[in-house]
Chain A
Amino acid sequence: MHNARGTTHEAYCVEREALSMKQFQVPRPPDDALRDMLASLMDKGKVGGVFALAQTGENSYSYALITDKKLLDHIVPTLPLMPANAGKMVSRLTMLEPVKTPIAVIMRPCELRALFELVKLEQARLDNLLFISYTCGGVLEMKTAKDGLQLKLEEYWKQVKTGGVSEDMRDSCRVCENFVPTGADITLTLVGNDNGKQTTVQVNSEKGEEFLAGLSYELTEAGPELEALDSMRKKRAEQKPDVFGQFAAEELGMAGLTALFGRCIGCHACGRACPVCYCSSCHFEAAENEFDPSTLETELTNRGALRLPTGTLYYQIGRLFHVSISCVGCGMCSDVCPVDIPVASLFAKLAGSVQGMFGYVSGRDAEEKIPTSTFEMEELEEIGA
């Protein structure tokens, strides 16, 4: 199989290229540094709006598109919470046509990758968007927002500084090795830095440079904090047996899957929250999937028992087939699951293996084709042999 970026090592190099050598430092914490930068961009008329995570009340956070500069006080772009996948949110804003006014979009690496997948699926457009991202320490489970957030944040930032893993993070973040954004115009290097007083901002593209031109920042040549990034990558790899171990194929099978998804209530929240569950009308919500009385009777005659609600396993496996090639491992599905099924961990494990078949990392590059939409003449020749 030919794929120029087929190996993990090569993927790693792509990431390092993504981290530019041009950077500047701001003697302010990241969120303040961003607010200042965005206010200047708005003052100069370079952007008409800002899309970022915002605080909407006590213990309450959501993504917001802000056009009134006064409201920039509300943004908390690096707070480790993800109420929705921002890639999906930007897709909603740009699905029908691109935005007309330039907007600065601040999102995490996995959210950016989700957006790039949606561009390939013709459900999002990147025109007029300036992408700001950061080396990502992961996010805490959303329920943390109303449960001891401040305390957990202290530990979280300590881990980000040293390239560690915080126990309160989403499981999918604990095992994520794609925490360096690819495709961002501007990247804040949070990992490995003491983010209490100072922020390092890297400029990764010409577009990024154009936007920042005329602002009072002095670019210097410097490298990323590779030591902390390497440490984080290593520590996250170490988490894999703990997170993925429960899904060994020999433990699953129909019995294991039924046990895993037995408590699924069929609410489909995982699909709604998933950025790459992209169908506008869902096959699994179609009337043809309802069991009418005669189907129920057949089921009961043939099998002797029927689990209710029906079709939950059918839905979960079907969704796996649909999204595993594009799954970015953001963990939204587990976070919204009302019955705490570790669905994100299972999906991330399978996503790794099916994407690996084609040397693909979902969303790494907006130009790269989704493997199922293309083919090589000479491949997989064991089929039909």
Chain B
Amino acid sequence: MKEPTIVGFLCNWCSYEGADRAGDARLEYPANIRTVRVMCSGRVEPEFVLHAFREGASGVLILGCHPGDCHYKMGNYKARRRISLLKKTLEQLGIEPERVRLDWVAAGEGERFAKVANEMADTIKGLGPLELS
């Protein structure tokens, strides 16, 4: 079976670097995660998530700097509220909230990136595809 696609929105300052670090260290992470670099996790609008679903993604991973470390001071705090709201909405609509995951990965955390990415891939594989039209 084709692996379900996961779109990863990675913040430019921490998590994208973290993914790079994972690559440098030759750490394995699933190939079905398609990364999109955004300037901040706070830049991720709910439509981005929905758009990814509509384009065929079955899961969306949003990674930002750890709380307190945001390059823009508070973007990740705002993302935290926004994504919680989004997950609550999905849950009530009977769509598994686990399809969306917000997590924190710092620039040096290559291992953490690989761990989160692998966990996400397992979760989505378990849930199967989501078909939104």
Question: A residues bordering B, Cβ < 8 Å?
Answer: 247, 249-254, 256-257, 283, 299, 302-303, 306-307, 310-311, 313-314, 317-318, 320-322, 324-325, 349-350, 353-354, 357-358, 371-377, 379-380, 383-384
Q: Measured between C-beta atoms, what is the minimum distance from B26 to chain A in Å?
A: 25
Number of residues from B at the complex interface, CB < 8 A: 32
Known: A383-B80, A384-B66. Contact between A310 and B133, CB under 8 A? Answer: yes
Residues of chain B within 8 A (CB-CB) of A311 are 54, 133
B103 near A384 with CB under 8 A, answer yes
B81 near A372 with CB under 8 A, answer yes
Asked if B104 lies at the interface with its beta carbon under 8 angstroms from chain A, I say yes
Q: Bound state CA distance, A64 and B61, in angstroms?
A: 49
A-B contact pairs, 14 of them (CB 8 A): A251-B94, A254-B94, A256-B94, A283-B47, A317-B89, A321-B50, A321-B85, A324-B89, A354-B85, A372-B81, A372-B85, A376-B77, A380-B81, A384-B66
* B95 contact from A247, A253, A299, Cβ within 8 A: A253
Q: Bound state CA distance, A317 and B92, in angstroms?
A: 11
Q: Bound state CA distance, A253 and B96, in angstroms?
A: 8
A318 near B50 with CB under 8 A, answer yes
B94 near A318 with CB under 8 A, answer no
Q: Which of B6-48 contact A (CB under 8 A)?
A: 46-47
Residues of chain B within 8 A (CB-CB) of A310 are 133
Give me 8 other A-B pairs in contact (C-beta within 8 A), A254-B94, A374-B81 excluded: A250-B94, A252-B92, A314-B132, A317-B132, A321-B50, A372-B85, A377-B77, A379-B80
B102 near A253 with CB under 8 A, answer no
* B86 contact from A307, A321, A373, A379, Cβ within 8 A: A321
Q: Bound state CA distance, A61 and B84, in angstroms?
A: 41
Q: Measured between C-beta atoms, what is the minimum distance from A186 to chain B in Å?
A: 35
B94 near A354 with CB under 8 A, answer no
Residues of chain A within 8 A (CB-CB) of B78 are 372-373, 375
Q: Bound state CA distance, A325 and B86, in angstroms?
A: 10
Asked if B93 lies at the interface with its beta carbon under 8 angstroms from chain A, I say yes
Residues of chain A within 8 A (CB-CB) of B103 are 383-384
B102 near A384 with CB under 8 A, answer yes
* A317 contact from B50, B66, B74, B83, Cβ within 8 A: B50
Residues of chain B within 8 A (CB-CB) of A303 are 131, 133
Asked if B82 lies at the interface with its beta carbon under 8 angstroms from chain A, I say yes
Q: Bound state CA distance, A250 and B93, in angstroms?
A: 8
Q: Bound state CA distance, A190 and B115, in angstroms?
A: 61
Known: A354-B88, A375-B74. Contact between A249 and B131, CB under 8 A? Answer: no
Residues of chain A within 8 A (CB-CB) of B85 are 321, 324-325, 354, 357, 371-372
Q: Bound state CA distance, A257 and B93, in angstroms?
A: 8
Known: A254-B131, A311-B133, A375-B80. Contact between A383 and B102, CB under 8 A? Answer: yes
Residues of chain A within 8 A (CB-CB) of B50 are 314, 317-318, 321
Q: Which of B90-133 contact A (CB under 8 A)?
A: 91-95, 102-104, 130-133
Q: Measured between C-beta atoms, what is the minimum distance from A282 to chain B in Å?
A: 11
B131 near A384 with CB under 8 A, answer no
Q: Bound state CA distance, A376 and B78, in angstroms?
A: 9
Q: Measured between C-beta atoms, what is the minimum distance from A6 to chain B in Å?
A: 15
Q: Bound state CA distance, A317 and B99, in angstroms?
A: 15
B67 near A384 with CB under 8 A, answer yes
Asked if B56 lies at the interface with its beta carbon under 8 angstroms from chain A, I say yes
B132 near A254 with CB under 8 A, answer yes
Q: Measured between C-beta atoms, what is the minimum distance from B92 to chain A in Å?
A: 5
A383 near B94 with CB under 8 A, answer no
Q: Mark B67-81, 1 if CB is under 8 A from A, else 0.
A: 110000010011011
A249 near B91 with CB under 8 A, answer yes
Q: Measured between C-beta atoms, what is the minimum distance from B85 to chain A in Å?
A: 5
